[in-house]
Structure formats: structure tokens, C-alpha cells
Structure 1
């Protein structure tokens, strides 16, 4: 082969390689994360079996989930770690935000119903969004994913079992041995603030749309900003540091207790059914919370 022909061939191969790299994102599947989370939540049943992880299972799961949730890119390593525990790993692009994500999820109905976890692929994690009661606090998983979309650098934790499964053992907000709590505690140990989303019936606190609380942690400027932004969005707010909010303050939630012991921020957000079932009001709540978090202290 002549030198000229060799150069032409080499140049052509380089062009093909460059085009292949450019087109890689086109081969990554696009996924509607709200739809995926909603399907996951809808499949959770109160009569399903459930057990928390053993100590060894918890340690192994953390070794795979924490890198995934904090911007890790070594998905093959995470796959090898998490698959034997019953997790399915997915990598894709969220169809609405356009951001690449990694997701690990157990199968609804399995006794190892340990959760659905979403990480921002390759991004520095700034906050943790938690949904402890999917398919009980209806549509909180929608709020969680919408908040993820509004806040780049979010890790999302969605419980993998109905809170009433196994006689309430699956209530991750009150079970310190759940994998959900182990992950939340490890992320709090890294200093990450947590936003935990709940729902209440309208009759539980008439005249209130949203409750903002620090749970068992001291209230901070962030809690005040959240309440102010939510109120500015046209919703009635109960500020737990100023008044009684009908036992909706989340002071017994173990994630808040762990955060309190570490001095990290924990925000417990309750929204009533009229907010969670109305897409426009959900959007306003998400926008308010995102604005408050983005504003910083």
C-alpha cells in the first residue's frame, strides 16, 4: 500500500471512530423516569412478602449503590455487585430532562423488595430525594422524579415495598435496618441534605396543603425558604417549627434521626391529596422546593 493510500485509509478510520463516538448517545435508550417510577410503585402490594437485608447483604448493597448514586460510571462493577442481590440495573437518558442516569431496582413482590435507586450518571451529587411510602402516599414517586428532573445532581431513593407489607416491617421510614435507611444514612454521612416526600389525607389537617418540617432535626434557613416558596406558589403551609401540624412533622422518621446525629439537613415534606393528584399543583410544589434548594442557605 502506498503512503498516500495508507494515509487516506487511516484518515477514514479516524473519521469512522469519531462518528461512532459522537453517535454513542443515540444508542442509549431514552426512558420516561416518571412513568418507570409510577409503574414500579403501582406494583407494590400490602400483602407482599418482605425482609430487610442481612448485615452482609446490606454491606454488599452499599458497596454497589453508593457509587451509583454519587455519579459513578463503573456500571459493570455495580452490575456484578448488585445483580446477585436481586437488583436489575438500567442505564439510559431521561426523556424529559435529557440527563443520563443509572438505576438499580429490585422486583416488586420479592421478599428482597429493597428499592428503586436513581443516580445522575457522572454528576456530583448535591442532594438526596426520598420516597419512603410509594403506593401508599400516592403520587409521591411522581413528585420525587419531578424534583430529580428539576435538580441536577440528585440521588433518588424509592422504597421497594408497600409500607404495610410484612406487618409494617417494610415501612422504611421507621425501620432502621431497611436498605433504604442504610443508603440514606450513608449519604447523610457524606454531608448530603435529604428531602423526604410524604402525603396526607385532606381531612388530617384541613386548610393546609403542605407541611414543612425538619423532622427530628433543627429547622434551618432551607426549611424557611421551602415554606416561603411553597406559600408564594399559592399553597397553604404549616411550618412545624412555629405551630403544631397534626402529627405530620415526621419526628419519628429514622432518616431524620440519623441526620440529626450527624448534623446534616433533613427536610420532611407532607402534601395533601389535592396537591398530589393535580398535575399543575404538583408542578408548583416541585418548582417551589427546587427554587428553595437552588437558592442555598
Structure 2
């Protein structure tokens, strides 16, 4: 026969256990119904950044000591040694997770509203640095920043470089594709010196090359495997491609591009991609261009 105190203790224990289970269910249920709000997409962050650029914005080239700080600071940032030196130039640096890929990244954005309009730089942290994707003329070569983000999404370990000023700002001094005294150029050369291939995205008016969708060249560098694979993939995707190392392409071959010249000095691969306005205005065609470039595996020279 069970004694009354023992029975009461058993009932109390059962009630406590049920209460704990109910509490756990409620807590878990609340977590499942209220997931943390996702952060902004990289596309929206880049679009907001580039939409603020204009030909009359403030811009000044960095001084020699600032360029040295940029080189050392960005190298430290890429290597995970902290952002302190890069932040000295007015950059804000934060880590995030790309909602489109689930991959972690670090993003550095220049100081807003000042002449230190020196760019936005995004490092994919899911793999060692593998490919440099460059957008030197945002807000001028329209939509090229979208191609840059899409290609960044497709390549683990990519590093995305976006100029911080309209190319016409400061009497064309902000044209980073033709000025060596820019933070953009400094960072591009830091990465090229590590052996990374650069892919630089540009745009041209349809009337300049009415029978051409894309002008592909290797700038001042010899056309290596990466450039030739890209040409093959783009042609196979149905694009009309003018190949700069074989044909004359109405001065769109990028031979005066300073990042291309630096790549030639370092014996690293450089790919200059000019796209017509029609191609840049079509999301479907953009996806096809990006797919072809990704399938060309430009990480291999």
C-alpha cells in the first residue's frame, strides 16, 4: 500500500515535469515563429551606394602616404589581421552573411559625404581569395555594378572592388581605370601581386559597336587561358564577341587601362569586359554573361 506522502510527492514531481516540458515547447515555438530578421542583400547595399554617385560629387585623390596606408591596411584586412589601418582612411568595416549565398563576407565602405570617396570593397570569407571582380565606373557604365555583384555571388573567395566616385568627378581625376593614384588601383595591385586574376567590367553604347554584344580583351597583358576560355564560353552562349587580341574593336580593348598595365608587370591575368547597353539593360542577358564567365573558371590564369 502506497503511503499518502509518497503519492503527493509523485504528483508534484509529475506536475513540475509537465510544466518544464510546456515551457520548453513555448520557448521553441516562439523561436520558430520569430526568426531573426535577415540583413539587407548585397545587391541592395551596392545599388544604394552607387546610386548616390554623380559627376559633381566631392573627390580627391589619396596622397602618397594614404596610398601606402591603403595597401598595408587592405592586405591586413584580407589576411584577417583586423581593420584598424584601413579604418584610418575613413572606411567603415563590418562583417556580414550574404543572404543570396549564405557565405560570410567583410565589407569596407568609404567615408560618406567627403572627398575621400575611395570605394566599396567586399571580401568573400568562405574561401581563400581567388578572383578580383572590378567595377571602376559605377553610375557611368550603367548596371556594371550588378554584373559585379552577380559574379561575386558565383565565385567563392571573390573580392569585389567598386570605385567610390563617378568617373567624371574632380575633372576626371576619379577615373580609377586610368589613374594610378587611387585607392582602387592600390588595392587592385595588392591583389594582382598575390597572383589573382582581375576581371574588370565596363559598358559601351550600342552605336559604337552595333554588331557586337561584348568586347573582350586582355588589356596590356598577353591573352592567356582565362581570357580564351571566357571568349569560348561567351560565344557558345550566343553573344557576338569582338576579341581584342585578334581583332580591332573600335578602341575598346582596354590597352591603356592602368590595372591591366600593372597586371602585365606582375605577369598576372587581366580580363577587360565591355558590354553593350542592350546587354546591360537585360537581367536575362546579364545572368547569361555571368554564367559564362563563372563557367570559364577565371581563377585559373
The answer (yes or no) to whether the contact 1:135–1:162 under 8 Å persists in 2 is yes
DSSP-derived class of the 1:227 partner: helix
| 1:154 paired to 2:168 | no
Question: Which secondary structure does the structure 2 equivalent of 1:281 belong to?
Answer: helix
Indicate conservation of the 8 Å contact 2:126/2:156, yes or no. Answer: no
Larger radius of gyration: 2
Matched, 1:45 2:67: no
Match for residue 212 of structure 1?
A: 216
Contact 2:233 2:295 in 1 (8 A): yes
CA distance in 1, matches of 2:230, 2:73: 32
**Structure 2: gaps of 5 or more residues:** 1-34
**Separation in structure 1 between the aligned mates of residue 125 and residue 294 of structure 2, nearest angstrom:** 20
1:127 aligned residue (115, 127, 131) = 131
Correspondence for 1:64: 73
Query: Which residues in structure 2 correspond to 1:13-162 (within 5 Å)?
Result: 30-68=39-77, 70=78, 72-74=79-81, 77-78=82-83, 80-121=84-125, 123-162=127-166
The answer (yes or no) to whether the contact 2:138–2:162 under 8 Å persists in 1 is yes
> Following TM superposition, by how much is the alpha carbon of 1:82 offset from its aligned partner in structure 2, in angstroms?
2.6
Q: Distance in 1 between matches of 2:183 and 2:299?
A: 31
Query: What secondary structure does 1:255 align onto?
Result: helix
Q: Are residue 243 (structure 1) and residue 247 (structure 2) matched?
A: yes
Contact 2:103 2:126 in 1 (8 A): no
Tell me, in whole angstroms, the C-alpha distance in 2 between the residues paired with 1:258 and 1:241.
Answer: 18
2:225 to 221, 224, 239: 221
TM-score with structure 1 setting the length? 0.86
Matched residues in 1 for 2:265 and 2:70: separation? Answer: 23
How many residue pairs are counted as aligned between the two chains? 267
Of stretches 129-138 and 101-110 in structure 1, the one that deviates more from structure 2 is: 101-110
Per-residue deviation, 1:294: 5.6
Alpha-carbon offset, residue 131 of structure 1: 0.4
User: If the length of structure 2 is used for normalisation, what is the TM-score?
Assistant: 0.85
Distance 1:139 1:203, change over 3 A: same
Mapped contact 1:209–1:275 kept (Cα < 8 A)? yes
> RMSD in angstroms over aligned alpha carbons?
1.7
Q: Deviations over 1:139-161 (max 9, x none)?
A: 11110010010011111110000
Residue-by-residue CA offset, 1:79-132 (whole Å, 9 max, x unaligned): x32333211112111110111100001145420000000001262011111000
Query: What is the distance in 1 between the residues matched to 2:175 and 2:40?
Result: 28
